[in-house]
Structure 1
Amino acid sequence: MKLLLAALTASALLTAPAQAAACRDAKGKFIKCTEKAPTKPIRCKDAKGKFAKCGTPGATPVK
């Protein structure tokens, strides 16, 4: 059990530097990351308040 906990902790600690390395160039200097945050899909509701496809008449986008 302790071995499993140690393995999970080690894997969590090792994944963080890999994500930070994506924003560095080949020389190791920091650069602006080109990855964008994932956007939420736009959802729409009809006049009755039920979810509907955004292309249908009367559907309005919801945040």
Structure 2
Amino acid sequence: MKLIVVLTAAALLSAPAMSASCRDAKGKFIKCPTAAAPAVTKDPKGKCRFSSGPKKGQFTKCP
């Protein structure tokens, strides 16, 4: 009974760490990439707008 509890606890503790890890082509652990920032362009008047994504055409702060 104790062995089952120990194995279950070990599996629960290691599951989040394994699902959040990223590896490169060589199999080494690396920092996981973040979501890509939406593309922003300036219009002829100098105001910034989203050029793609669900907010396409909406004004935003210039980077």
TM-score interval, smaller chain: 0.3 to 0.5
**Larger RCO, structure (CA 8 Å, separation 6 or more):** 1
TM-score norm. by structure 2 comes to 0.39
> Comparing both structures, which one devotes a greater share of its residues to helix?
1
